[in-house]
Every structure is written in C-alpha cells, then in structure tokens.
Amino acid sequence: MTEDRDLQQRAFRERFFDLSLDMLCVAGLDGYFKLVNRAWETTLGFSVEEMLARPFLDFIHPDDIEATNAAYALQIEQGRDIVEFENRYLCKDGSYKWLLWNAKTAAEEALIYAVARDITSVKQAEKLMEEKALELERSNAELEDFTHVVSHDLKEPLRGIEAFSGFLAEDYADKLDDRGRGYLTVLQDSAVRLRDLIDDLLQLSRIGRIKPQYVRVSSASLVADVISNVEFSLKEKNTELRVAADLPILVCDPVRIQQVFENLISNALKYSDKAAQVVEVGCVQEPHRHIFFVRDNGPGIDPKYQEKIFRIFQRLVLREEHEGTGVGLTICKKVVEGHGGEIWVESEGSGLGSTFFFSIPKSIEPSQVSKEEQNGTGPQGSSHPARGRQPTGRGDHAAGAGKGPGEEPAHSGARRPGGA
C-alpha cells in the first residue's frame, strides 16, 4: 500500500511538473540536465530527450557562457541561490531566447533545482524602448538646433526691421504724410506681432522638452507677481481684481504655473467688454487636487467653441479687435497637462462671462532643486516682466517666460546710419 501511494504521489507531482507554463528542470553537478518539463520543448523546440543528451552549456549563447559559469561556480562553491539571473538559450531553429532564472542547489543530492521563464518579449520591448529613447534624443537635439535657428537667424533680421522702423518714426515722421505714417505703424505692429509669435512658439516647444522643476510654493505669491505685471492693464480697463484669501500652498513648477495664471488673467482683461470689469481668482479644494479658477464678467464663450480655444492658432475674434498670437491657451493646456492636471472653461454664452478652471494634483513630489530656488531667489522663483511693447496687457500668452537654450538677447544690434 505504501509503495502504491508513493507511486501515486510521484505521478501527481509529474503531472504538475509538465503542466507548468514555466521551464522547470533538475540539473546535475556534472553539467547535464536530469529532468526537464514539456515547457522546454514548447519554448526552445528541442525534445526532452535532446535536452538531456547534451551539456546545458551547449545551449547557452557564447556571449553568456562566462557569466553563466561565474554564477554556476558561486552556486556550487558557496551554496548561493541564483535569483533573477538572465542568459540566452539556443532554439532548435538557430535563434536564441532570453531566459530569467531562479535556482537552488541541493548539495546532499548533488542536484540543482531551477525554474526559467521566457522573457524574450520583455527584452525586445526594452530594446525597442531604448531605440525610441535614442530617436527621441536625436529629435530633441534637432529641435534644439531648430530653436537656435529660429531665435537667431529669424529674429536677427526682425530686430533690424523693428530698429530701423523706429529710426524712421523718430527721424522722418515729419517728412511723411498721414498715409506714410500709417504704413509705418502697421510695419512696427507687424514686427512686434511676429516677434511675439516666435517667442510663443519657442516657449511652446520648450514645455515638452525641458523637465519642470517642482517646488513647494504659495499660489498667492504667484498671483501677486502676475498682478504686478498687469497693473497697468487693470487701471486702463477699470478692472476690479478679486483674489481669494485662502489660495493654497502647492507643489508645481512656479514659473510655468505663474505663466498659466498670467495668461488667464490677461485674457480676462483683454476681452473685457464692460465699463466696470470684475475678475475673480480662487481655488476649490478636492481630496486629491487643487482646482484654481479665473472668472470674469466679460462677453462669454459659446459652448460650441469651448474646446476649440485650446487649440493652437484658434481665435474667436479678429486680430484687429484684440492683440494676440493664438498660442497662449495652448501653452496653458500643455503646462497644466504636464503637471498631470486638466484645464477647461465654463460659460453659458454671450454676455454671461467665462470661468477658466485648471487642476493641479496634490500628489506631486518636489524636485531636487537648490535652496536658492526653494527660497524663491533662484531662477525658478524669479518673476518675469511682460513681453512686447510695454505696457500692453497682451494676454493670450505668457508674460516673459525667459530665454531658452541658444536664444539671443532682446537687443537688436542695429545702429543708426552714420553711427548715431
């Protein structure tokens, strides 16, 4: 009875042995397999008999033999278990597959019990990711070169146009009639608009390429910096700006989130159509995110356009009516989504005002940044003056996001004829 029970238990174990999807084996210290399950044949194509007839080193890729022998020696000589060891095994069709091993030595039996798993698809995916990473690195390098070309080669003649049109306006205005002065004004405005557009496109390109630096910062201080930048427009538009007293501390890239606040507040000012404009800035707390809002009592946005306005170059008004490049809200969307948040607008339509919302997760961890940056005295804590001809209240893009790699300073380098 005991012998029958032992036979039944052995048969039971062998069934499970062969049912395993992983490659189970028992090897001897003589370098040969003593037992392998059917998964070996399924994976490598060799029959069980063929696997048992040859030293297992015969199946290992030549480049992996040295590492395999080293791991094998540690296992035999020091009794160490092998955990997550990788090597390549020969298939019957001549190809190789990557295997991940766990093994344990039973010294008293002079046997090694091991399990291997085919990780070829994982290795192929890793290789593909590495190739994609290299491709992305090359693309980013090309984009950096393009940024330099745009910031230097395109902006250099533009600065000349701006400078010399200014010289004309100053030195020859009395020699031009009204039509000529009008043409000159159009030329100057077009040059400024083109410069603003180039700056916005450069800023948009940098958002996805330059890693944000997350620090703990007061959102109230970010809004206060924005108010300083748009102070002229507030007075010019007769706008009351109401800022909630309980704006939270959050973890974010402060330069970029200030940029979002400035875009939204400036837009509210720019599109004002009321004699007494009111703009509100506040925050609603949810368990896992801060939801900031900028609300105005302006013309409102038809619901059918509320998705469209976040697309690049999409404008709901003519440029002649309001300045802007059509890039600002696209920048906002990219910044907020880069922080893991969302941005959207709610408006009942014409004449009923608009509320722009954007969310920032509470789970963002601060980056490893310098103490100067954390204290707000370094680059990440600095405020940036508004761009364009000051003051303008231009608001559909960031006010002064700083220069990117390879960009030129703002001076034109142009000289008056005669050296004046």
Are residues 399 and 262 both part of a single domain? yes
Are residues 31 and 142 both part of a single domain? no
The owner of tokens 């002079």 is: 110
pLDDT at residue 408, as a whole number:
42
Say if 413 falls within a structural domain. no
CA–CA separation, 26 and 65 (whole Å): 19
pLDDT at residue 205, as a whole number:
66
CATH of the domain at 383: 3.30.565.10
Say if 418 falls within a structural domain. no
Report the domain count for the chain. 3
Q: Which residues pair with 88 in a beta bridge?
A: 98
Are residues 134 and 94 both part of a single domain? no
Say if 244 falls within a structural domain. yes
Among residues 118, 138, 156, the one where a domain terminates is 118
Are residues 260 and 279 both part of a single domain? yes
pLDDT at residue 9, as a whole number:
65
Q: Provide the domain limits for residue 40.
A: 2-118
The owner of tokens 């048992």 is: 52
Are residues 248 and 388 both part of a single domain? yes
pLDDT at residue 74, as a whole number:
84
Query: How would you class 362 by CB atoms within 10 Å of its CB: exposed for 0-12, middle for 13-18, buried for 19 or more?
Result: middle
Among residues 210, 241, 276, the one where a domain terminates is 210
Are residues 82 and 12 both part of a single domain? yes
Beta-carbon contacts of residue 240 (< 8 Å; ≥ 6 apart): 276, 277, 278, 279
Say if 349 falls within a structural domain. yes
pLDDT at residue 95, as a whole number:
96
Say if 412 falls within a structural domain. no
Closest CA to 219 of 306, 309, 341: 341
Say if 92 falls within a structural domain. yes
Closest CA to 315 of 197, 400, 235, 229: 197
Question: Alpha-carbon torsion 190, 191, 197, 200, what sign?
Answer: negative
Among residues 179, 210, 241, the one where a domain terminates is 210
Say if 263 falls within a structural domain. yes
Are residues 387 and 257 both part of a single domain? yes
Encoded tokens for 360:
């920032």
Say if 107 falls within a structural domain. yes
Going across the sheet that includes 354-361, the strands are 239-243, 277-286, 289-296, 354-361, 343-346
Are residues 222 and 338 both part of a single domain? yes
CA–CA separation, 320 and 257 (whole Å): 29
pLDDT at residue 396, as a whole number:
41
CATH of the domain at 6: 3.30.450.20
Question: Alpha-carbon torsion 359, 365, 368, 372, what sign?
Answer: positive
Are residues 163 and 272 both part of a single domain? no
CA dihedral angle for residue 306, residue 312, residue 313, residue 315, rounded to 10 degrees = 10
Q: Which residues pair with 26 in a beta bridge?
A: 35, 113
Are residues 197 and 273 both part of a single domain? no
pLDDT at residue 236, as a whole number:
81
pLDDT tens-digit profile, the chain (420 residues): 566 666 666 666 677 787 888 999 999 989 999 999 999 999 999 999 999 999 999 999 999 999 999 988 888 887 788 889 999 999 999 999 999 999 998 888 889 999 999 999 999 999 999 999 888 888 777 777 776 676 667 777 777 888 888 888 888 888 888 888 888 888 887 887 777 777 766 766 666 667 778 999 999 999 999 998 888 888 887 888 899 999 999 999 898 899 899 889 988 888 766 777 888 999 999 999 999 999 988 877 767 666 767 775 555 544 444 454 557 788 889 889 889 999 998 887 666 788 999 999 998 877 644 334 444 444 333 333 333 333 333 334 333 333 444 444 444 445 454 444
Are residues 304 and 188 both part of a single domain? no
**CA–CA distance from 232 to each of 226, 228, 238, 310 (Å)?**
12, 9, 10, 26
Are residues 258 and 220 both part of a single domain? yes
